[in-house]
């Protein structure tokens, strides 16, 4: 029997104006933004709707903004359609959206937690010390070996296994640049530094993970109504008792997105609905499996397309 998965985007999918149209048209979307505003004590909604882009790109703003915009879309989708998920997953930050969708976290707790998470991740490494780079057309084993050679006592390692031939590395800026040069020397010329403010998902984030652990200790985690395929393990988790530990581990561990989507295929998922800003995850899924149909929902037009379909 074919199954449906809901996917939630992570950092990089934000844009000024996200959620604005839905909030104007649907009370449940408007209420979602108001809930986040109240939880944080400032107008996150205004930042989502109007920018400026420079403020929206700040990690501690980006994370609650994408989360709130995604949950606003989810609630409209639930109100307007009979779509239901058999499995959930979210890319990095998006895992918090998946946990709100599955009932493990309240929206208020989730936005406060990811605002803290963004702050901790930003503060873990001084600006300019770390870097991330997308490495294209390199097999995972080969890239791991390149990172090992490039480290020279510093940190550089795979951070996101996104899709076949697209892996992101993170670590000290000098080590990341060495990895790029070593890859070029081996004939892998497709690589680019990413415009990020910190080296996410590598061991340099350990101070952020430690600080996040104490925040999560004070957050209530309820039983999951739908299993979440976690970034850290790329397998389904429905045990509320494991949620905090997995979220803490996620800060330093690589995002196993390709493996997570392959697990979806193994679990007989035939349709993925990307919920929230952008179409990044739909694009990745097309590269991971041709068997799975994908659709993205982020505004009135895409909502109508799903309703019609």
In sequence order, the 6+-apart residues with CB closer than 8 A to the CB of 166 are: 134, 135, 136, 284, 287
For the chain, give the longest Cα–Cα distance.
Answer: 56
List the structure tokens of 218.
């004070």
Distance CA 283, CA 57 (A): 22
The dihedral built from the CA positions of residue 173, 176, 180 and 181, taken in this order, carries a sign that is positive
167: helix, coil or strand?
Answer: strand
Which of 91, 172, 197, 201 is catalytic? The answer is 201
Q: Is 92 a catalytic residue?
A: yes
Distance CA 233, CA 259 (A): 9
Rounded Cα–Cα distance for residues 129 and 172 (Å): 6
Strand order in the sheet with 236-237: 236-237, 228-229, 87-90, 3-8, 269-275, 293-297
What CA–CA distance (Å, rounded) separates 146 from 300? 45
The tokens describing 126, both together, are 């001084």
Which residue is catalytic, options 13, 45, 70, 92? 92
Sheet with 130-136: strands ordered across: 156-163, 166-172, 130-136, 191-193
172 a catalytic residue: no
Q: Can you read off the two tokens belonging to residue 151?
A: 């480290």
Q: Per the structure block, which two tokens stand in for 55?
A: 């403020």
Compute CA distances 250 → 66, 232, 246, whole Å: 18, 6, 6
Mapped onto helix, strand or coil, the DSSP state of residue 24 is helix
Q: Among all residues, which ones are annotated catalytic?
A: 92, 201
């Amino acid at each position: 029997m074919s199954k449906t998965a809901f996917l939630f985007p992570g950092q990089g999918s934000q844009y000024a104006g996200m959620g604005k149209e839905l909030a104007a048209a649907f009370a449940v979307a408007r209420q979602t933004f108001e809930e986040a505003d109240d939880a944080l004590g400032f107008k996150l909604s205004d930042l989502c709707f109007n920018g400026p882009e420079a403020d929206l790109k700040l990690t501690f703003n980006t994370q609650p903004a994408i989360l709130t915009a995604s949950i606003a879309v989810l609630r409209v989708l639930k109100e307007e359609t009979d779509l239901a998920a058999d499995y959930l997953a979210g890319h990095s930050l998006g895992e918090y959206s998946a946990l709100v969708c599955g009932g493990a976290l309240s929206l208020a707790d989730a936005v406060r937690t990811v605002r803290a998470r963004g702050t901790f991740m930003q503060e873990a490494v001084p600006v300019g010390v770390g870097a991330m780079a997308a490495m294209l057309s390199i097999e995972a084993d080969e890239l791991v070996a390149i990172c090992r050679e490039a480290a020279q006592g510093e940190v550089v390692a795979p951070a996101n296994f996104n899709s076949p031939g697209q892996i992101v590395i993170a670590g000290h800026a000098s080590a990341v640049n060495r990895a790029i040069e070593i890859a070029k020397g081996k004939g892998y010329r497709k690589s680019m530094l990413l415009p990020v403010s910190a080296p996410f998902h590598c061991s340099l984030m350990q101070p952020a993970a430690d600080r996040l652990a104490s925040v999560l200790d004070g957050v209530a985690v309820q039983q999951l109504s739908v299993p979440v395929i976690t970034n850290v393990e790329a397998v389904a988790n429905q045990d509320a008792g494991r949620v905090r530990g997995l979220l803490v581990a996620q800060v330093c561990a690589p995002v196993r997105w390709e493996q997570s989507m392959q697990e979806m295929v193994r679990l007989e998922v035939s349709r993925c609905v990307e919920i929230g800003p952008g179409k990044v995850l739909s694009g990745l899924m097309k590269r991971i499996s041709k068997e799975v149909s994908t659709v993205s929902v982020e505004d009135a037009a895409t909502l109508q397309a799903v309703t019609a379909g």
